Amino acid sequence: MNRRELMVGAGAAAALSAAPARAQDAALRLGMVLPLTGPFAAYGQQVQAGLRLYLDRHGDRVAGRRIEVMVEDDGGIADATKRIAQSMVTREGVEVLGGFGLTPLALAAAPIATRARVAQIVMVAATSAVTEASPYVVRTSYTTPQVTSRIAAWVIAEGVTTAMTLVLDYGPGADAEATFVADFTAGGGQVIDSLRVPMQNPDFAPFLQRVADRKPQVLFVFVPSGMGAPLLKQWVERGLDRSGTRLVADGSVTDDMVLPQMGDAALGLVTGFHYTAWHDSPLNRDFVRDIQARTGGRPNFMAVAAYDGAHLLFQALAATGGDAAGPALVDAMKGMAFESPRGPILIDPDTRDIVQDISMRRVERIDGELWNVAFQTFPQVRDPAKG
């Protein structure tokens, strides 16, 4: 277990003690469980960058509570997530859990949040069912059906009648496949094949060959952040970019974090998503500038979800007068609405899931750099999987 402690507030350097400090100085411990090593380490880095920016801007105190952030590395392994979360709430005095870079990690911690009655703020995991795993889960990222439903609507409006799907074989991928198939079929289209790529050592080549053989009008793709570049490389190598089949994807394929290095293969690719670093608002321009100054790279959807997760926590604590007990804090979060760098967001009071704008974007080269440029927006989309 690789423990890191992120001390909040400019210049703060005092180490956390092993025992709860609430009785002495009303401190509140926020336990962040993140993948900081392994293949998903970039996820944890983006979450830390967004969280740190919010705390540096707004300070480390709210409603008489000083916020102390404890960060632990789960390496992207669910068993480690469970052990860390258990230790945090039973031994370390953690009152709020946050982070969770993948669906299995969020689900591993949910029973602990339920038993301990602590709020669990999910900042990355996107499978729809995550919020149903515990009444104490609140999500500030997105859900796969939320985005995929709007992609399907756009594809139907484009007059497409035949499609295939290609997804990574895990929770969000299954969500994406099911949503696209249901919505596209309901709109009059035909899904002629659905392909699932194994998570372990994924190789897209044999699946793309099947796409080349079947020749759908559109291939809808969902793969996690970081896998878009190899997928696009193989897409171009097989000449599918000239085949007449259009590639349309979830925005994680052209994640803002990696898009600048993806090259010409990404140009013109249409994706649907809830955040783009190109979003034109004063709040987002400042957000992108400050994250770039800290990290040397663009923020992605994980950084903005962590920034918003911190804001949600602060606003809820202000509403409860500093009471961080799970029932009170989660009740305060329900129905909260505010302006994010991504645009207006709301925590659905019934589902504890995020409601937000979903945009269709096209990759364009502007001033020599690749950007996801929105050209159509669906306002305030709820997770359709929850009705």
More confident residue, 238 or 375: 375
**For all residues of the chain together, what is the average pLDDT?**
92
pLDDT tens column, 79-125: 999 999 999 999 999 999 999 999 999 999 999 999 999 999 999 99
What band does 225 get if pLDDT is binned at 50, 70 and 90? confident
Residue 161 has pLDDT above 50, yes or no: yes
What band does 201 get if pLDDT is binned at 50, 70 and 90? confident
Which is it for strands 119-122 and 137-139: parallel, antiparallel or unpaired?
A: parallel
More confident residue, 81 or 171: 81
Residue 6 has pLDDT above 80, yes or no: no
**295-332 burial by CB neighbour count: b if 16+ within 10 A, else e?**
bebbbbbbbbbbbbbbbbbbbbbebbebebebebbbeb
The alpha carbons of the chain give a radius of gyration, in whole angstroms, of 21
Nearest Cα residue to 1 out of 31, 29, 37: 37
Identify the sign of the CA torsion 122, 128, 130, 134. Answer: positive
Report pTM: 0.91
What band does 276 get if pLDDT is binned at 50, 70 and 90? very high
pLDDT for 357 equals: 98
Q: Which residues contact 343 (CB under 8 A, 6 or more apart)?
A: 279, 281, 356, 357
How far is residue 344's CA from residue 143's CA, in Å, rounded to a whole number? 16
Q: Which two tokens stand for residue 176?
A: 């994406």
Structural domains in the chain?
2-142+280-352 (3.40.50.2300), 145-273+358-386 (3.40.50.2300)
At 45, phi and psi to the nearest 5? -65, -40
Which is it for strands 337-340 and 343-347: parallel, antiparallel or unpaired?
A: antiparallel
pLDDT tens column, 12-42: 333 333 333 343 347 999 999 999 999 899 9
**Mean pLDDT score, 182-202:** 94
